[in-house]
Amino acid sequence: MALLRLFWVQLTSMRTALLLLLTLALVAIPGSLLPQRPIAPIRVSDWKAANPAVADLYEAIGLFDVYGSPWFAAVYLLLTVSLIGCIVPRIQVYAKALRQPPPRTPKRLDRLPASVAGATALSADEALTAAEGVLRAKRFRVRREGDSVAAERGHLREFGNLLFHLSFALMLLGVAWNTLWSYKGEVIVVEGQAFSNNLTQYDDFSAGSQFKPANLQPFTIWVDTFTAKFETGEVQRGAARVFEADVRVAHGDGAPEEARIEVNHPLVVDGTQVHLIGHGYAPVVTVTDPEGNVAFSGPVVFLPQDGNFTSLGVIKAPDARPNYLGFEGFFLPTAVVDQQGPHSVFPDALAPELFVNVWTGAPREETGRPESVYSLTKDGLEQMTTDDGKVVTFRIAPGQAIDLPDGSSLSFDDWRRWTKLQVSSEPGLWLVIGAVGLAVAGMMLSMYVRPRRLWLRIVDTPDGPRVEAGGLDRAESSTGLADDVAELAASAGVEDAARTQEVGP
């Protein structure tokens, strides 16, 4: 029990809080220098492949997920407990202090950091009443007792301090709430297609443990056009300039309304945010099999691989007969072929081309097993060759079609843009933002309010009543104490107050 008590006293001491703060700063650093799995899983695998010597050790101690690791949680939880342990007793002290009148006038006012003494022409009662009036006008809390007046101001400083620390705890609460109930999903939508807010529609989805699929607001978004513009001038050539998606939104079963989504201007549908977070190209193709049937037709999403949107993708025609047909290759919005091979030199579609090779094999059985739409499973497939044994590979531009040796054909009809939408709900956000706002307000109060105590006493001397006044500041970095004391003495009728120098900085 005594040990527990000692632990508690240690934990809630300011020195421990200080060390915990510095530890928090220290342990947050590795996460900014190493790739983190929740943010960039692919970069984590790349990094581990490049540094095999330390990869396992780093993995074991959670360096690839610092902010979800137990030791990071330990530091901030200890800090929170320490903070609450610090603040609760202080709230009690503060509540008591609020109810107490200003402290009694000390015996020796001339020992205070600032003091003034002098004769007054007023009577003792007049002098005290005048001083009291001045103090009240300056919003001091005043206590008049016998031959003296005691005054105090600046309770808001400690209030601000407490508010700041409480807001900090409140913010953590908001973050926790948000983590439990929030969700975030991503979906790629090609121009002309639609998305309904339904779990099955997402390409990628993550949510807090309290999330239920019923929390998804029912709405549908049709992406009509997506506009992207890029810098064509000399400076920052190819940098993004405009991204806009013109959409129609229907709430539940309601009628669609037109809307526009831009970067920094998410669409808000029934409290759910829809962000534009990515885009790319989808060539529109038609695959005709040797029997003359259309085996596949429509846009195919290709994934950008670099800043100029050299995009990788596959076109699958599982229904082609007699053989399965698959195409693998690149979509290049501004195609150039040089020593590096085919690649794109500008992100906009100035000279789009498709570079593909063809895979073929026996038709596959429907297994019902999901298969990635971005990669071709090559089991049982082989590359198509010409009669003289050359691998079939070709480039075509929109509007062109190519006949393959087996009698099938691929026509590159057109291209469209696709956009990646992120749908997210963050129910605790307002609490987090409000708490930080309160914390800033509390911080200002605790730093700028200057608590001050002033006293004034009337002493009877043979020469008539004499005024003694003094003051004390309870905050560092305050100014004007001597002025306040002099003014107080003057209000009680002291004419040429023998001012003593204010001590200290």
Q: Which of 6, 9, 40, 401 touches another protein (CB under 8 A)?
A: 40
Q: Which stretch, 38-46, 128-136, 189-197, 405-413, contacts another protein (CB under 8 A)? A: 38-46
> Could you tell me the smallest distance in angstroms from the CB atom of residue 444 to another protein?
5
Using rule CB under 8 A, residue 222 touches another protein: no
Spatial separation of the C-alpha atoms in residues 74 and 166, rounded to whole Å? 20
Using rule CB under 8 A, residue 232 touches another protein: no
Could you give phi then psi for residue 159, rounded to 5 degrees? -60, -45
Burial of residue 278 (number of CB atoms within 10 Å: 0-12, 13-18, 19+): middle
Using rule CB under 8 A, residue 242 touches another protein: yes
Using rule CB under 8 A, residue 90 touches another protein: no
Burial of residue 504 (number of CB atoms within 10 Å: 0-12, 13-18, 19+): exposed
Per-residue contact string for residues 244-263; x = within reach of another protein by CB under 8 A: ------------------xx
Spatial separation of the C-alpha atoms in residues 490 and 61, rounded to whole Å? 69
Spatial separation of the C-alpha atoms in residues 493 and 19, rounded to whole Å? 53
Using rule CB under 8 A, residue 241 touches another protein: yes
Angle in degrees, CA 249, 255, 256, rounded to 5:
25
Which 374-393 residues touch another protein, going by CB under 8 A? Answer: none
Q: Which of 372, 477, 496, 501 touches another protein (CB under 8 A)?
A: 477
Q: How far is CA 256 from the centre of its chain?
A: 32
**Which residue in this structure is represented by tokens 């846009």?**
299
83-95 b/e (C-beta count within 10 Å ≥ 16 → b)? bebbbeeeeeeee
CB nearer to another protein: pick between 339 and 477? 477
Using rule CB under 8 A, residue 147 touches another protein: no
CB nearer to another protein: pick between 231 and 406? 231
Using rule CB under 8 A, residue 501 touches another protein: no
Using rule CB under 8 A, residue 243 touches another protein: yes
> Closest Cα partner for 446 from 159, 91, 165?
159
Number of residues that this document lists for the chain: 505
Per-residue contact string for residues 194-213; x = within reach of another protein by CB under 8 A: --------------------
Binding footprint of another protein on the chain (CB under 8 A): 14-15, 17-18, 21-22, 24-25, 28-29, 31-33, 35-36, 38-40, 43, 66-67, 175, 184, 231, 233-236, 239-243, 262-266, 273, 275, 277, 422, 424, 426, 429, 432-433, 436-437, 439-440, 443-444, 447-448, 476-477, 504-505
